[in-house]
Amino acid sequence: MVRPDVIASHVENLLEHMLETDHLVTDVPGQWSVRDGTALYTVRVKNQASPTVEVFSIALDGIRPTRALYERINDLNLRATHSRWFVEGNRVIVAGELVGETLDAEELASTCREVAISANEEGKALHEVFGGVLSFPAEPDATGQVPAAADPRDDEPTGLYL
Predicted confidence (pLDDT) per residue in 16-57, tens digit: 999 999 888 888 999 999 999 889 999 999 987 889 999 999
Predicted confidence (pLDDT) per residue in 108-148, tens digit: 999 999 999 999 999 999 999 999 999 988 555 454 444 43
- If you compute the radius of gyration of the chain from its CA atoms, what whole number of angstroms results? 19
What does each C-alpha distance from 12 to 23, 25, 61, 127 come to in angstroms? Answer: 9, 10, 27, 32
Which DSSP string corresponds to 100-154? STT--HHHHHHHHHHHHHHHHHHHHHHHHHH--B-S-SS---TTSPPPPPPPGGG
Question: Where does the pLDDT of residue 156 fall: very low under 50, low under 70, confident under 90, or very high at 90 and above?
Answer: very low
pTM: 0.81
**Residue 12 pLDDT more than 90?**
yes
Residue 52 to residue 55: CA distance in whole angstroms: 10
**Residue 61 pLDDT more than 50?**
yes
Q: How many CB atoms lie within 10 A of CB 65?
A: 15
User: 104: which residues sit within 8 A by CB, 6+ positions away?
Assistant: 14
Strands 52-61 and 39-46, bridge-based pairing = antiparallel
